Each structure stands twice: as structure tokens, then as C-alpha cells.
Amino acid sequence: MSTGQLISYEPASGVELWRGNHGNVDEIVARARRAWPAWAAQPLSTRMELVRRFANEVRKEAEQLATMIARETGKPLWEARTEVESVVGKVEISIRAYAERTAQRKLDNAMQGTAALRHKPHGVMAVLGPYNFPAHLPNGHIVPALIAGNAIVFKPSEKTPATAELLVQCFHRAGISAAVVQLLIGGPAEGQALVAHDGIDGVLFTGSAHTGIAINRKLATRPDKIVALEMGGNNPIVVWDTPKITDAAAIVVQSAFTSAGQRCTAARRLIVKSSMYEPLLAEVKRLSDRIIVGAPFDDPAPFMGPVIDNHAADGLTESFLYLLSHGGKAIKHLIRLREDLPFLSPAIIDVTGVKDKPDVELFGPLLQVTRAEDLDEAIAEANNTRFGLSASLIGGSPQEYNRFWANVRAGVINWNRPTNGASSAAPFGGVGLSGNHRPSAYYAADYCAYPVASTEMDQPRAMIGVGLRES
């Protein structure tokens, strides 16, 4: 495993923000295992009260936490504040979801006793968080897992440890033991060791398909571990017949370029009816040209900040050039706004003529456009991916939306709404390379506890009525 210190840098300035020592996986997991039985034995009402106190702690530190998110990810302050609001809102949603998804039930039968259904926590859960929503997304695993009675080892992205530290401090100040929610600082080596550790009962992951597949492969012979994978997407947004060109363009831009395209639900591919191509793309480009790209605290506030680091910016630049050299036609060029910092302009490229388009998640402000002649062709193109996270139809009739909904392969399917901005009050997850059929958000309770069926009587009562010799 790694030695030395982990350093976090501000994407918008390049200055050092935070540094800390790599954690010891064995020690942290052992501590969690010792703490778990006492936490699991707490009444459910106590655990719920403590996560509510956590929400209050986040409210107290809302501006500090939002500022840290903005500095560490580069996202505008207004967007960071919405992330903090999501952290707070997740608590009551998770409490409702646990009551609904894991309710206790009893059915009495005088002759057969009682049939009961209850749920048990798994034990010690590893939560591996992403950098794009460093508080909200891991929190979406942590809170439901705590309510269910699990202990948590939280390993944040090595790019956003400072935000994770503040989040964990809020849990501790709320009265949740520092052994029940622990922070593991580290890089890929620590993450791999945590996933494989015998003391871990479940792995809750949000991040890239590449890492998710590696986790799945590592645990292929470990059916004893619950694994929930929320991975990325190569998400389509289909624009069909609509007179509302301005509104359609705004939804496309919002879907593609919010958070500098660094959302798993961001629209990567715009599929547009040929007859609408010219007016729609003219409006999308006009609106994209108006986007302010800037640092988190700039005035006026930017629509989008930088991508996470120069490595990500370089990769997106190379991807744009690849598409351009293989038949793509630039509608709006990807421009590196600062040579030394990862600020990118939103980019749009027509890839209708590109053969063998790479089926990868280009995690940034790069939108690929394809023409389609009819809705069946558009749906086929939307499904031309190994991913299956989110999809949207803009325009069309109710009948066409029904066809779209029935035939598009995705876990989130919207009509006249963006591909991103999924609600925590609904299940969230995808198929294919986007997930392993364990949706999070409102359904997170499903993978945080397992059902136990029982038949019970106060006293033993039984007889064998057939197949016995006479006494």
C-alpha cells in the first residue's frame, strides 16, 4: 500500500488545499468490526435520531462544507450549495425508505405460530466515493447503511479527501462513534485492499465503469459480500418533433454541460431528427457560446468550472481530436482556456459520419451529435452502447414517448426533462456497464440490510403423524 501523504489541489488554481497521511486498512477495519455489534444493537429509533442530528450538523456547517466542495472540485459555489442541500435532504428520505423497503411484518396463525419478517445489517460496509459529488454521493450510501445498523469505512476519491474529512466530522459531532464511521485516506492501493479485506461485508461503490468492473472481478468468488455498483453512462438525449426549440436547446445544454459534464447522468450523445437538426443545433451552439466558464467564486457566477485536473482535461482534448480525425465535424471546438489549469470550453461535435464510435464515458463537457431519420433509428442509436444509466426524449407525442420508454435500455428514462438531476426520492441505477441491478437513492435500503424470514412459537409443539413403527 501507499506510504507518505496524500495531497489535494484546487482545480481552479492549482494550489495545495489539503494533505494527510495514508490510512492503515487493517487497523481501520479491525476497529470497525469491534464497534459494529454495539451499533447494530442500538434501537432503530436511536440510529434514526443520530442521523437526524448529523443533518443538523451539516446545516450548521453548510457554508463551510459548500466552500470546501467548491474549492476541491472546482464547481461553482451555487452548485456546491445545492450538493450540501442534498446531503441534508438524504436523511429524511432514507428514514422513509427504510420504513417502506425493510418494514417488519408478522402474520399470526394459531396452529403454526407466527410468521415474521425482519431485516439485519450486513456488518462493516466499505463505501468508495467519487470526486464529482464528494459529499452527496457517498452520503447516499452511508446514511442508509447506518440506519440499517452497519458500521462504515469510507474511502473517498484521492482527489477529494478534504470534503470527505469535513463530512465525517459531522457524523462524529452528531454523536455517532468515530469507530462506527471511519475515514480511510488513500489511493488505489488502499481501495483495492479495502475491497478485498476479509473484515468487509459489503462494498458500495460510485465511480467509473473501469473501477467498478475491477471490483466485480475481484469479488466474483465472494458471494458472501454484498456489492452495489453505481457506474457511469454514455447517455443519450433524443430530440424529436417539437416547436419549442429554445426550451429543447436549454434542456440539451443543461444535460450536457452542468457540472462541466462531470455527472454520471450527463448527456454524452445528442440524437436529433434530421429535419430538426439545423434549427436545434444553431440554438444549442448559441446557448453554449454564452456559457461562462470560471472559478467557483467568480462574479458573475459561472455556469461551469474546470474539470477535476489536467489529466482529465488532456484526456478530453485527445478524445475530441480522435473524433475529429475519424470523420467528426466540429460544431463547437473544445478549447483549453488555460494551458496550466483544467478549464475547458463546452464542445459539440457531429459524429454521424464516424464509424465505430468509441463506446466510452467521456467525463466532461463534450457532446457528440448524431442525426436520425426516424424514431426507430434514434432508439437503436440510443441503445448502441454497453452502458444504460439515463436517457431522455425531448419532444415527440405521448405515443412516441411510450415507444421510447418501452424500448430504450436505461435505469432513468425522462420525457422533456434533462438526463441529469435524478431525485433521491426515487430509485437510481442503471443496467449494462452502468450498474449491477442494485439501484441506490430510495432503494439503497435494499442493499444495506438483508431479509430474515422466521416462524416462531412461544413453546415447542410438534408430533410426527406418519412413517413411525408402533411403540
DSSP characters over 407-443: H---SEEEESS-SS---TTSEE--SGGGBSS--EETT
Q: Choose the catalytic residue: 230, 361, 381, 400.
A: 230
Q: Which residues contact 141 (CB under 8 A, 6 or more apart)?
A: 125, 127, 129, 204, 206, 228, 440, 444
3-state secondary structure of 391: strand
| 159-195 pLDDT, tens digit each | 999 999 999 999 999 999 999 999 999 999 999 999 9
Strand-pair category, 235-239 with 226-230: unpaired
Give the per-residue pLDDT at 471: 77
HSE-CB for 248 with a 13 A CA cutoff? 25
Alpha carbon of 56 to those of 87, 244, 389, 420: distances in Å? Answer: 11, 42, 32, 27
What average pLDDT does the segment 397-416 reach?
Answer: 98
Q: Please, what are the domains in the chain?
A: 5-231+435-456 (3.40.605.10), 235-415 (3.40.309.10)
Do 160 and 131 touch, CB atoms closer than 8 A? yes
What average pLDDT does the segment 78-86 reach?
Answer: 98
Q: Clarify whether 448 is annotated catalytic.
A: no
CA–CA separation, 234 vs 431, rounded Å? 12
Higher pLDDT, 399 or 462: 399
Among residues 2, 11, 8, the alpha carbon closest in space to that of 313 is found at 11
Neighbouring C-beta atoms of residue 415, cutoff 10 Å: 15
Residue 360 sits at φ, ψ, to 5 deg, of -135, 160
* In the predicted structure, residue 20 carries a pLDDT above the cut 90: yes
CA–CA separation, 301 vs 312, rounded Å? 23
CA–CA separation, 231 vs 233, rounded Å? 7
Angle between helix 136-148 and helix 161-173 axes, rounded to 10 deg: 30
What average pLDDT does the segment 336-357 reach?
Answer: 96
Inter-residue long-range contacts of 134-137, CB under 8 Å, 24+ positions, other chains counted = 134/69, 134/72, 134/73, 134/160, 134/163, 134/164, 134/167, 135/65, 135/69, 135/83, 135/84, 135/87, 135/163, 135/164, 135/166, 135/167, 136/83, 136/86, 136/87, 136/90, 137/206, 137/230
Cell triple for 257: 454541460
What average pLDDT does the segment 189-217 reach?
Answer: 97
Q: What share of the chain in percent tops pLDDT 70? A: 99
* In the predicted structure, residue 110 carries a pLDDT above the cut 80: no
pTM of the model as a whole:
0.96
Q: Clarify whether 377 is annotated catalytic.
A: no
Do 208 and 387 touch, CB atoms closer than 8 A? no
Q: Choose the catalytic residue: 10, 158, 264, 283.
A: 264
Residue 244 sits at φ, ψ, to 5 deg, of -90, 70
Q: What is the dihedral of CA 189, 195, 197, 200, to 10 degrees?
A: 140
pLDDT band per the 50, 70, 90 thresholds, residue 108: confident
DSSP state of 275: G
Among residues 211, 339, 201, the alpha carbon closest in space to that of 264 is found at 211
Give the per-residue pLDDT at 419: 98
What average pLDDT does the segment 209-222 reach?
Answer: 96
* In the predicted structure, residue 1 carries a pLDDT above the cut 90: no
Name the maximum alpha-carbon separation found in the chain: 94
